[in-house]
Amino acid sequence: MLPLPHLPRPHIWGAALALAAAFVSAPAAAVDLLRHSVPMRESVDAPQAQGSDDAPERGASVQRPARRAPLRSSARPAAEEPLAAIGERISERIRMRSDALPRATVLPVAARSRTGEPLAAAASRGRSGRPAHAGPRGTDHWSYQGADGPQAWAQLSPEFAQCSKGLRQSPIDIQDGIKVQLEPIVFDYRPGPFRVVDNGHTVQVNVAPGSSIEVLGRRYELVQFHFHRPSEERVDGKQFDMVVHLVHKDPEGRLAVVAVLLERGSAQPVVQSVWNNLPLEKNDEVAVRTALDPSGLLPADRSYYTYMGSLTTPPCREGVLWMVMKNPQPVSPDQIGIFTRLYPMNARPIQTSSGRLIKESN
């Protein structure tokens, strides 16, 4: 054991702690430096190995090595040199050796869940395993059939609550309308370029700005039109082959939808222009420079039914002004067949009218 020099008690405790820390960090370096810094107490009866060439003869005097003088500081006597100074020198040597060693590069590792999935990804998912920010099943995953069908829309996201709680939902079976002299809808549709997109729920046509309608003293700009098969609306219980919904919006964000019923007959030119430019992939958009005139979808006789309802797709927003043309437009069997290959059925079931007032042109 290495003896400690005789120091005042306050120095001993502080120095001992410093030396202990040095031994924990690098014991070999500490011992090596301590041997050269602290004087060893000589042993008088040091044993000699028997049979050794260096063993002294019996009775011979043993020559003791001269006592090594401890390192002294010029500022204080050797007896008062604190072990803290020794600890500092040991620490300095340890730092020098550490700096000489090559340092390993530590790469960050992402924490993982029990299943091995990164925790950041697991936290972004709900219990169903779908992205949490999109609701239990994701706002883009509603459908017309199966587990994500209309009966479950309200449970797919809090934003869809109106789909089950609303009292003015669409579509409805139009019956018992009050025949009155309705104000004519002023259509101001103009030819222009258009874009076709298959959004996963229907084929939608986004039109260029400039087309609008005026009704009940308000002006609504045409934003887009899209198709459903079969028709979502019914008239006195009758359902049609298809329907096209022309969606308009006024500067305050209020919506007005003109519905044109489509029944089997001759080819419809505007529909054919849309089919000619169908995108090859869902959610791809095809920009068409050839002008399209939305007024080609309208019947010559523009009498209509009107009522207040909602969007027929999530989030089922209410407060939508509906105008359903009383006279259907023809569409060819081939044109119906093309849409049917994409969407055999994309119509919301009929909703209760809840005593709403329905008016129709006389």
Catalytic-role residue among 81, 233, 245, 313: 245
Catalytic-role residue among 141, 201, 214, 263: 201
245 part of the active site: yes
Closest to 35 in 3D by CA, of 95, 93, 77 = 93
pLDDT tens-digit readout, 269-292: 999 999 999 999 999 999 999 999
Catalytic-role residue among 202, 233, 248, 312: 312
Q: What φ, ψ does residue 326 adopt, rounded to 5°?
A: -75, -25
Residue 93, helix vs strand vs coil? helix
* Tokens 């009498």 sit on residue: 303
In the chain, pLDDT over 90 holds for what percent of residues? Answer: 61
| DSSP secondary structure code for residue 17 in this structure | H
Strand ranges (E), 97-254: 173-174, 178-180, 186-188, 192-198, 203-207, 212-215, 218-228, 234-235, 238-239, 242-249
Closest to 170 in 3D by CA, of 362, 359, 356 = 356
312 part of the active site: yes
Q: What is the pLDDT of residue 31?
A: 45
Lowest mean pLDDT among 50-54, 143-147, 213-217, 233-237: 50-54
For the chain, the structural domain boundaries read 8-33, 166-361
Q: What is the pLDDT of residue 141?
A: 85
Q: What is the value of pTM for the model shown?
A: 0.63
Catalytic-role residue among 202, 228, 306, 313: 228
What confidence tier does 328 reach under pLDDT thresholds 50, 70, 90?
very high
232 part of the active site: yes
Cα separation of 159 and 315, whole Å? 6
pLDDT tens-digit readout, 51-91: 334 433 434 444 444 444 444 444 444 444 455 555 566 55
Task: Report the CATH architecture of 166-361.
Answer: Roll (3.10)
Q: What is the DSSP string of 304-315?
A: EEEEEEE-SSTT
pLDDT tens-digit readout, 201-222: 999 999 999 999 999 999 999 9
Q: What is the pLDDT of residue 301?
A: 97
Closest to 206 in 3D by CA, of 261, 279, 142 = 279
